[in-house]
Structure 1
Amino acid sequence: MLAENIELIETIGLNLFFLIIFFFIGMSIRDVMKNNDVPKKGQFVVYFVLFLGCAGFIAKGIIQIVWESKGIG
């Protein structure tokens, strides 16, 4: 059972790892900006860039699923 689903378990684990890492990055960035009194516009830019990084990983996952379902990858 475990040997048959090892690839699925690895994929889920890696995605959870990225989720946790992005959460901790966001929390550390929030702490630094709060301690240094960063203006709202600057906070928006920083969080937008962090979101784009997350969106890149989400887009990669969607593209990978689509390509694998069509037999390309």
Structure 2
Amino acid sequence: MLAQNMEQLEAVGLNLFFAAIFFFIGMAIHDVLKQGKVPKYGRYIVWLVLFLGCTGFIAKGMIQFFWESSGIG
């Protein structure tokens, strides 16, 4: 296997791993909020923070991809 293919496979695997981690974090937060009987306003704040974290991670990946494809990074 070529080194370039191996790097691409590692990058895809790492992104899938992070997606799985975000999913499991979301499931754990859902369970804690459900068992703790948190008010609706608090739930919205928690989910907003989690969503912003995921969005930042996705934006970072897209910026990195575009920079590397244009030769900047």
TM-score by length of 2: 0.92
Aligned to 2:70: 70
Task: Kindly report structure 1 stretches of 4+ aligned residues shifted beyond 4 Å.
Answer: none
Give ranges in structure 1 of 5+ residues lacking alignment.
Answer: none
Which structure features the higher share of helix residues?
2
Instruction: Determine the C-alpha separation between the residues in 2 that align with 1:65 and 1:13.
Output: 15
> How much identity, in percent, do the aligned residues show?
66
Give ranges in structure 2 of 5+ residues lacking alignment.
Answer: none
Match status 1:35 vs 2:42: no
Superposed CA RMSD: 1.2
Paired residue total: 73
Instruction: Determine the C-alpha separation between the residues in 1 that align with 2:47 and 2:4.
Output: 39
TM-score by length of 1: 0.92
Instruction: Determine the C-alpha separation between the residues in 2 that align with 1:26 and 1:65.
Output: 26
Aligned to 2:26: 26
